[in-house]
């Protein structure tokens, strides 16, 4: 925004406020990159190229809002003025043990495709040698 406009006759205070306004726009994607690992995701399908950034914006906005409304999390005993940042919330959530949460149904969604007829386990990917060798055609 600052580089794309003609700002020859503008006050320094206005430029400062424009610069400060860029952080709320950049915060959700930056928070989502680290929170859900979007810095390592490479997608090439047309639909995924739209869905992944949308997911990152939603996840980043939720993470940023949650970090803002919770009390500030100190990063250690030396932190005299803790800040409410998404990174500190992420580190706090990384230490949490989510396996102790009560789950009423371990299967979240019923898979509608029938798979009972398919081989399971090692039989699903074991390669079998052909019983008879292929005929030699002489070509």
Residue 35 lies in a domain: yes
Is the whole-model pTM more than 0.85?
A: no
What pLDDT, on a 0 to 100 scale, did the predictor assign at position 1?
A: 46
- pLDDT above 80 for 77: yes
- pLDDT above 80 for 35: no
Task: Specify whether the CB–CB gap between 26 and 1 falls below 8 A.
Answer: no
Give how far Cα 128 sits from Cα of 67, 122, 124, Å.
55, 12, 11
Which residues have C-beta within 8 Å of that of residue 46, sequence separation ≥ 6? none
Residue 66 lies in a domain: yes
How many helices (H) and strands (E) are present in the chain, helices listed first? 4, 0
Residue 24 lies in a domain: yes
What pLDDT, on a 0 to 100 scale, did the predictor assign at position 11?
A: 82
Residue 58 lies in a domain: yes
Residue 22 lies in a domain: yes
Domain of 61 in residue numbering reads as 1-75+82-97
Mean pLDDT of 91-111: 79
Residue 53 lies in a domain: yes
Alpha carbons 88 and 83: distance in angstroms, whole number:
8
- pLDDT above 60 for 2: no
What pLDDT, on a 0 to 100 scale, did the predictor assign at position 71?
A: 92
What pLDDT, on a 0 to 100 scale, did the predictor assign at position 20?
A: 67
What pLDDT, on a 0 to 100 scale, did the predictor assign at position 119?
A: 84
Per-residue b/e over 6-44, b at no fewer than 16 CB within 10 Å? eeeeeeeeeeeeeeeeeeeeebbebbbbebbebeeeeee
Give the pLDDT band (50/70/90) at residue 125: confident
Give the pLDDT band (50/70/90) at residue 137: confident
Structural domains counted in the chain: 1
- pLDDT above 60 for 124: yes
């Amino acid at each position: 925004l600052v580089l794309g406009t003609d700002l020859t006759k503008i006050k320094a205070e206005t430029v400062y406020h424009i610069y400060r306004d860029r952080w709320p726009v950049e915060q959700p994607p930056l928070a989502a990159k680290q929170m859900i690992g979007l810095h390592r995701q490479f997608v090439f399908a047309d639909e995924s190229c739209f869905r992944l950034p949308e997911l990152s914006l939603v996840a980043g906005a939720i993470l940023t809002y949650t970090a803002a409304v919770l009390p500030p999390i100190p990063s250690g005993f030396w932190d005299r003025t803790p800040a409410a940042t998404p990174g500190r919330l992420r580190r706090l959530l990384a230490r949490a043990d989510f396996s102790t949460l009560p789950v009423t149904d371990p299967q979240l969604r019923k898979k509608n495709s029938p798979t009972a007829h398919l081989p399971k386990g090692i039989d699903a990917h074991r390669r079998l040698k052909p019983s008879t060798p292929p005929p030699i055609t002489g070509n």
